[in-house]
Structure 1
Amino acid sequence: MPAAATPPNTSSPPPVAALPTQPPTEQPRWTFLTNHAHVLVLLWQNPAMIVREVARQVGITERAVQHILAELENAGILQRTRVGRQNRYHIETSVPLRHPIESHRTIGELLQLCARTQHT
């Protein structure tokens, strides 16, 4: 028995799915720097920034920022000073970066590289 011929497809082809795009306000899924580095950069640029604002700008929780601050303080990278009801942060810029690949560079060199404006 011969196969029945199928009629030609006269309908338009199915639409091509658009590639998903990332809305401008959405955080990227990964970055080259860690959250620890992001926290350091923000506090270097504004030593009086509150934890809530650091968390908002980095895109993590306030608790995560507090954990990072404690780790940086315990590592001798960050000093916290109470000024009234707020904290003021001082970063030890002469501390070398921790990984052997970049240990020939300092925290200060990384911060200078990442700064939006010249830090004085």
Structure 2
Amino acid sequence: MGSQAAKLARKSYDYVSGNDQTNPENSNSLKASGFALKGTPFVFTRSSSQYFDEDGHLAHEFYRESNVKSKKGKYTLKRITKGLCKQGKIKLEIPRLNCEFPVVIYEG
């Protein structure tokens, strides 16, 4: 059990530091080049879940008020799904931690 945890920790450290044990000519040693990260634990952008409508308004959902012909004076809301454009990528003000980063961050 302990050897498996040590192997996983070593793989995680090698991933972060850029050390490649399988191909030593591509590895970055700490002595030669300093601590060079191959990956980063931070996320700087995310995909937006909001949409722009034809008028340029931004929201998660858009609805249109429509009159039901069978009942006099009865109005219902119908969801609009056509003519919308996704907002795209958003830059985060504060970087977040990536949930798929292979290093356990613990402060004890």
- Please tell me the TM-score bracket, short chain as reference: under 0.3
The structure with more helix, counted as a fraction of residues: 1
Question: Structure 2 length normalisation: TM-score?
Answer: 0.22
Question: Structure 1 length normalisation: TM-score?
Answer: 0.20
- The structure showing larger relative contact order (alpha-carbon pairs under 8 Å, at least 6 residues apart) is 2
